[in-house]
Chains A and B, each alone.
Chain A
Amino acid sequence: MQRLACRDVTEPLHKRADGRLPAGEAAALDEHLRACTGCRAQAEQLDWAATALQRRQDVPRGFADRVLQRVAEREGATRPVRPRPLTLGIAWLALPVAALILVAAGLALRGVPNAPPPPSTASRAVEPPRVQVELELAKASARTVSVAGDFNEWQADGSRLTKGRDGVWRIRLELPPGRYQYVFVIDGEQWIADPQASTVVDSGFSGTNSVLDVSL
Chain B
Amino acid sequence: MAPSLPADADDLEAIRRVLAGQPDEFRALVDKYGPSIFNLAYRMTGSAPDAEDLAQEAFLQAYARLADFRVGSRFHPWLYTIALNLCRNHLRRKALVRWLPLQPQTPEDRPPDIEPVDHGLDPEQALLDKEGDLRLQRALQALPAKYREVFLLRQGQGLSYEEIAQVTGLPLGTVEVRLFRARKKLLEALAKDGSRAR
Interface residues of A (CB under 8 A from B): 10-11, 13-14, 17-19, 42, 45-46, 48-50, 52-60, 63-64, 66-68, 70-72, 74-75, 148, 150, 153-157, 181, 185, 188-191, 203-206, 209
Closest 5 CB pairs of A and B: A154-B89, A53-B156, A57-B117, A64-B30, A52-B136
Pairwise interchain contact A49-B190, C-beta atoms closer than 8 A: yes
> At the interface with chain A, which of B5-13, B53-61, B103-111?
B53-61
Q: A19-B1, A63-B34 are in contact. List 16 more A-B contacts (CB 8 A).
A: A13-B183, A48-B132, A49-B139, A53-B2, A58-B35, A60-B38, A63-B52, A64-B31, A68-B27, A70-B60, A74-B64, A148-B89, A154-B88, A154-B89, A188-B68, A189-B169
Question: Chain B contacts of A74 at CB under 8 A?
Answer: 60, 63-64
| Option from A57, A72, A150 in Cβ contact (under 8 Å) with B38 | A57
| Complex CA distance for A14 and B26, rounded to whole angstroms | 39
Question: Chain B contacts of A150 at CB under 8 A?
Answer: 96
| Option from B2, B65, B88, B117 in Cβ contact (under 8 Å) with A205 | B88
| Complex CA distance for A60 and B136, rounded to whole angstroms | 20
Pairwise interchain contact B27-A64, C-beta atoms closer than 8 A: yes
CB distance from A67 to the nearest CB of B (A): 5
Question: Chain A contacts of B180 at CB under 8 A?
Answer: 11, 14
Question: Chain B contacts of A50 at CB under 8 A?
Answer: 1, 155
CB distance from A37 to the nearest CB of B (A): 13
Interface residues of B (CB under 8 A from A): 1-2, 23-24, 26-27, 30-31, 34-35, 38-39, 42-43, 48, 52, 55-56, 59-61, 63-65, 68, 81-82, 85-86, 88-89, 91-93, 95-96, 116-117, 119, 129, 132-133, 136, 139, 144-146, 152, 154-156, 169-170, 174, 179-180, 183-184, 186-187, 190-191
Question: Chain B contacts of A75 at CB under 8 A?
Answer: 23
Pairwise interchain contact A67-B89, C-beta atoms closer than 8 A: no
A-B contact pairs, 16 of them (CB 8 A): A14-B180, A14-B184, A45-B191, A54-B1, A60-B52, A63-B52, A67-B26, A67-B30, A71-B23, A71-B60, A74-B60, A74-B63, A156-B86, A188-B81, A204-B145, A206-B146
| Complex CA distance for A188 and B64, rounded to whole angstroms | 13
Question: Chain A contacts of B24 at CB under 8 A?
Answer: 68
CB-CB nearest in chain B for A60: B52
CB distance from B195 to the nearest CB of A (A): 12
Pairwise interchain contact A46-B38, C-beta atoms closer than 8 A: no
| Option from A18, A72, A181 in Cβ contact (under 8 Å) with B96 | A181
Question: Chain A contacts of B88 at CB under 8 A?
Answer: 154, 191, 205
| Complex CA distance for A52 and B93, rounded to whole angstroms | 28
CB distance from B3 to the nearest CB of A (A): 10
- Given A66-B56, A188-B81, A57:B26 Cβ within 8 A: no
